[in-house]
Amino acid sequence: MKADELRPFYNQVFTVKELKNYFKEQDSSIRTQLSRLYKAGKLIRLKRDCYTFPDFHPNTFVIGQEMVSPSYHSLESVLAMNSIIPEGVTAHTLITSKKTQEYVNEFGTFSYRHLDPELFFGVEKREDGAWVAVPEKALLDYLYLNSEKFKADFGCWQAERFDELDILNFEKMKEWSKKYGMQKLDRLVESLELYSCSED
């Protein structure tokens, strides 16, 4: 197998399984050839049995989503993108229905947190094909998965230094929070809404 033979997979993330179906070869043969191309610098290994090209690859949003599927971008990276949390985020953070996991490759760190499939809502598809949580959903995911560190009081929100809360639709958040089945999350959202009003 030569790199040019993989032209149909340019600008994609592809797996050993996909190449096996395409070339009609055994897994072991595919892996050996991919390893040779990787060592020659013709491919980038994203994780075990998962590759893309150094010069012909999708953007990091698509890469993160394709490495673990199903998944969508949420949590810290989306909150930072919307200036809700002040800190710079070094990892790409995603939600998946699969196990919690993390991968580091040439494109960065990709951190995946588990949520049940019934909580896969409140996301929008970008032009590049990546699925990204709306700010309200990203914050709900963040509060739910880190609930042990939050309290429903103003002091907690002041310490967290949340910002740009005026962009949030709190009625939507209160409606969606009930889907998580955690009473504490409902209280956190109500408290955060009161805090956001006090900051106006």
pLDDT in tens, 151-182: 999 999 999 889 999 999 999 999 999 999 99
Q: Quote the pLDDT of residue 30.
A: 94
The pLDDT value recorded for residue 88 is 74
Strands 71-73 and 123-125: unpaired
Q: Write the single-letter amino acid at 193.
A: E
Burial (CB count within 10 angstroms: exposed 0-12, middle 13-18, buried 19+), residue 87: exposed
pLDDT tier for residue 2 given thresholds of 50, 70 and 90: confident
Give tens-digit pLDDT for 112-157.
Answer: 999 999 999 999 999 999 999 999 999 999 999 999 999 999 999 9
Handedness of CA 114, 60, 57, 121 (dihedral sign): positive
The pTM for the full model equals 0.93
Q: What CA–CA distance (Å, rounded) separates 78 from 119?
A: 17
